[in-house]
Chains A and B, each alone.
Chain A
Amino acid sequence: MNAGEEKHAALVPVQSTGLTRVGPKSLAARGRADLRTQEEAEEWLRKGLELREQGRYEEAFGYFERGIQLKPNHPEIQFMLGLSFSGGEGAPRDNAMARAWYRKAAEQGLKEAQYNLGLLYYGWDDGPGLRQNYEEAADWFRKAAEQGYERAQGRLDLLLGEGMVVAHDDVETHRAADHGNKDAQRVLGSRYRDGQGVPQDYAQATSWYRKAALQEDLSAQINLAQMYSQGLVPRSLYCHFDFSEANCEEAQATLGLDEDVYLRHGCKEAAAYWYSRAAQQGSDTAKSALAELQPLLTLERAKRTIEMSGAHFNFGPDVDARKKYYAAVQEAVRALTDAGYRVKSAGWGYELEDIQ
């Protein structure tokens, strides 16, 4: 509690102020008397709730106060006092008072109070004297969520997803990742890639890295590129891969290929794609990896062009397309010859001669 809260909380009676000598009453009589007091306090609470329903907030607040005088530890009454202060309903609007009452009820395990206290810390309702404290908010949301309060879980997920608070355990890391937290997504990607605490699973690793990479998480992009260039990404995931954003024709041309073509060529295209996105963010690692990959890519693209050159293309009246195609083939032949390959004419097109 900060100093302001301490001052307000002093309005809540301490234990010994309610002390009176019970006298030589039997413990049973004392229990009954306590129960009667509780019933009376609950009666005030019930009447107060009725009045609130009718919008008679000030009268309701008076009833809650009478209830709390009888039973200072009653969590529901404490909650209603908190609600009155936080909404300025029947009492002057005072978030510090609201927080003091909510806290008392929340500490007794009332999930609604835990949730509302969390909201106050979350800064849902900004009032004077209140500091936002996401970690504190998350702690109260957690407590309410543990009691099955779904709204609290939703708020916690939001905090986790936005990366406002640190995940406490693996379950929360997953929730954070599911709710779009790129750090959590990258962490999960690495965990699945390396089999840390989970069975190694490259498909899971790829899809988590990819989620983070799409949010421009630099190290997720580089890690994903590395996984591609090492051929660790299953082809099934590559087939679903979306290059359209990159406007990368060569890469798109390799989608849906055979396993061996995928491993030889498609993987490298995808790696280059992610390296280039990382390079756009200024990563030197990505830039040099991309430079290293470039000659290999040129060669593979040329090979693909030659391999495809035997197919019958019906360009119809589209002269430009035909010209473009022949130019590409000629360029590929040149690139391959430069690299020491031998290319020979075959059928409608060309083919590579096997060389050692």
Chain B
Amino acid sequence: MPTEIVHHLSPEEQELAKKRQELTILQAELADRELFLANQRAELAAFEGRYLREVGVLYAELDDWNAKIAELTAEADGTEGAKSAAAEARAQAEESYAAAHGEAAKAAEFSPSPELKKLFREVVRQIHPDNATDDADRAVRNRLMAEANLAYRRGDVDALRSILEEYKSSPESVRGEGVGADLVRVLRQIDQIIKRLAQIDSEVAELASSEIALLMAKVESAAAKGRNLLAEMKKDILHRIDLARNEFEDQFSKMRSK
């Protein structure tokens, strides 16, 4: 009967195996949370884009009419108070215009495909900077992760694929040797991921309490009750624009007739 050779793991090796298991679980959780955060950001950006395009532009138009009225009043009154009120109203109008027509207003609708989500999770699992083993590796991962975030936002499946390819072929993905070194590296990765998870939580909380998120929550809960809040807001502002325009025209014709 042949003697069975049993390889007994050293305590260090046992610890490494345990920690590697722990790391795998944490990496999966990190991928989920990063995906969630990316989705939250993208959804909010998309909502903000829609809000600015539909409602924001109307606020800008309203402010423009109000500035015109204030300017007309300043012209008629000639007082310092009226002049500064006009300047302030104009500044407000410009601010609103810039906000309503800025970069944020260009955000397109966001509806990620299952394939896109899967790819992004894979990218996070493999490339996340918090899996980095050293500073050089981290630098590469940071760059690729930033690119991946943009690609996800764009819904660019091909870009995500090529990011994965690029990382696989980079020398940083090759691991070092030696149990002791490996254990140190794994422990450091675990530590980084736990920190990042906490950071994601606070980022999600921060996003959720942003003005745009609160507005979106309001719009969504109204939609569940069959109310279209954005449409109501549009109607309300449009009506205020009508009133402001009429008022401007009244004032204008009164000034002309003098």
Contact = CB atoms under 8 A, between A and B. Distances in A.
Are chains A and B native binding partners rather than an unrelated pairing?
yes
B51 A31 contact: yes
Interface stretch (B9-17, B95-103, B146-154): B95-103
B179 interface: no
A101 to B, nearest CB: 15
B229 interface: yes
B247 A16 contact: yes
B55 A31 contact: yes
A28 B48 contact: yes
B120 interface: no
Nearest to B89: A21
Interface residues of B, number: 33
A27 B96 contact: yes
Nearest to A36: B218
Nearest to A71: B236
B206 to A, nearest CB: 15
B212 A28 contact: yes
Contact of A28 (B51, B92, B244): B51
B59 to A, nearest CB: 6
Given A15-B240, A16-B247, A32-B218, A27 B55 contact: yes
Nearest to B244: A15
Given A34-B233, A38-B236, A108-B239, A28 B247 contact: no
A26 B52 CA distance: 10
Classify the secondary structure of B's interface with A. helix
A220 B48 CA distance: 67
Contacts of A253: none
A31 B128 CA distance: 37
A308 interface: no
Contacts of B70: 16, 19
B233 A32 contact: no
Given A16-B247, A34-B233, A35-B218, A27 B99 contact: yes
A34 B58 CA distance: 13
B236 A27 contact: no
B56 A27 contact: yes
Contacts of B210: 28
A32 B69 CA distance: 25
Task: Indicate the member of A15, A29, A32, A35 with the most B CB atoms within 10 Å.
Answer: A15
B215 interface: yes
Nearest to B213: A28
B177 interface: no
Contacts of B246: 15
Contacts, number: 67
B243 A15 contact: yes
A245 B99 CA distance: 80
Nearest to B62: A15
A73 B240 contact: yes
A23 B229 CA distance: 24
A14 B250 CA distance: 12
A30 B236 CA distance: 13
B214 interface: yes
A15 B233 CA distance: 16
A22 interface: yes
Contacts of A340: none
Nearest to B245: A15
Contacts of A38: 232, 236
Interface string B203-223: 000000011101100100000
A16 B215 contact: no
A35 B211 CA distance: 13
A128 interface: no
Interface string A50-86: 0000000000000000000000010000000000000
A21 B233 contact: no
A24 to B, nearest CB: 6
B88 interface: yes
Contacts of A35: 215, 218, 229, 233
Nearest to A13: B243
A73 B51 contact: no
Given A15-B240, A16-B66, A24-B95, A30 B218 contact: no
B100 A27 contact: yes
Contacts of B55: 27, 31
Nearest to B236: A73
Given A28-B48, A31-B51, A15 B100 contact: no
Interface of A: 14-16, 19, 21-24, 26-32, 34-35, 38, 73, 108
Across the A-B interface, the 9 shortest Cβ-Cβ residue pairs: A15-B243, A28-B211, A28-B212, A29-B211, A27-B56, A15-B244, A73-B239, A28-B215, A27-B99
Interface of B: 48, 51-52, 55-56, 59, 63, 66, 69-70, 88-89, 92, 95-96, 99-100, 210-212, 214-215, 218, 229, 232-233, 236, 239-240, 243-244, 246-247
22 contacts: A15-B246, A16-B70, A19-B70, A21-B89, A22-B63, A24-B95, A26-B99, A26-B211, A26-B212, A27-B56, A27-B96, A28-B48, A28-B210, A30-B59, A31-B55, A31-B233, A32-B214, A32-B215, A32-B218, A35-B218, A35-B229, A73-B240
